[in-house]
Amino acid sequence: MDGAADTGPDAPAARGGQGPLRPPSPPFPPRAPSPPPPLSPGSILGAPPSPGPSEQGARQLLLAGGVEAPLPLFGHNIMSGPPCGPARSLETLGNFSGWQISTEKLLPHFSWTVKQQCVDLLAEGLWEELLDDEQPDITIMDWFEDSRLDVCVYELHVWLLAADRQTVIRQYHAAPRPSPRGPGGRWCQVSHVFKRYGPGVRFVHFLHKSKNRLGSEGFRRTRVTDSSVSVQLQT
| pLDDT at res. 178 | 86
Please check whether residue 103 lies inside any domain of the structure: yes
H/E element, 5: strand 4-7
**The pTM is what?**
0.66
Count of domains observed in the chain: 1
| pLDDT at res. 77 | 81
Please check whether residue 24 lies inside any domain of the structure: no
Q: Is there a contact between 210 and 222 (Cβ–Cβ < 8 Å)? A: yes
Please check whether residue 22 lies inside any domain of the structure: no
Q: What is the CATH number of the domain that holds 137?
A: 2.60.120.260
Contacts of residues 217-220 at CB distance under 8 Å and 24 or more positions apart, as own/partner, are 220/147, 220/149
Please check whether residue 9 lies inside any domain of the structure: no
- In angstroms, rounded to a whole number, what is the distance separating the alpha carbons of residues 224 and 221? 10
- In angstroms, rounded to a whole number, what is the distance separating the alpha carbons of residues 81 and 170? 24
Give the range of the structural domain holding residue 190, as residue numbers without chain letter: 52-232
| pLDDT at res. 98 | 81
What is the mean pLDDT of each successive set of 10 residues along the chain, which is 235 residues long? Answer: 57 42 41 38 33 39 32 59 48 68 91 94 94 95 94 95 95 91 86 96 96 92 92 80
Please check whether residue 205 lies inside any domain of the structure: yes
